[in-house]
Amino acid sequence: MAHSLRHVLKLVRETVEHVRSAFPEVALVWVNILPRFKWRAPDDEYRAINNKLKRVNQFGRSMMRKEGGRVLDVDIDLKTPGFYRPDGVHLSDVGLDMYLDAIRELLLDMFE
């Protein structure tokens, strides 16, 4: 089921606010939703989907800063196809190593 960008942003806001109020001591982390080369949509629509994805990520990062959380930034983008497997969706071994290393570094920084 497709939802409007406005609806998705509202869900993100409500979810973050709920988690923060229900668990005030929890460490919140926004992990960017990664772009894809392929979506379950016609090829001409994937750019629009990835642009909306950027807006969701920007909003999520903003919410984390507002709520005192952290942001996991991983330098995986569509400019380097080698980060993805040939299916255009899943990360390659290199992309996955980068992703997991970024998570590891963030966790070490948070809990040292």
The domain segmentation of the chain, as residue ranges, is 5-111
Per-residue pLDDT band at 1 (split at 50, 70, 90)? low
What average pLDDT does the segment 92-105 reach? 95
Q: In angstroms, how far is CA 104 from the centroid of its own chain?
A: 16
Instruction: Please give the pLDDT value at position 39.
Output: 74
Please say if the pLDDT value at position 7 is more than 90. yes
The structure tokens 């869900």 sit at 11
Q: Report in angstroms the alpha-carbon separations of 20 from 71, 82, 103.
A: 15, 37, 21
The 10s digit of each residue's pLDDT in 21-79 is 999 999 999 999 988 877 777 766 777 788 889 999 999 999 999 888 999 988 888 88
Amino acid at 83: F
pTM for the predicted model, two decimal places: 0.83
Distance from C-alpha of 17 to C-alpha of 24, rounded to nearest angstrom: 10
Q: Say which CATH class 5-111 falls into.
A: alpha beta
Residue in this structure with the two tokens 């992703």, named with its chain if needed: 99
CA distance 70 to 64: 6
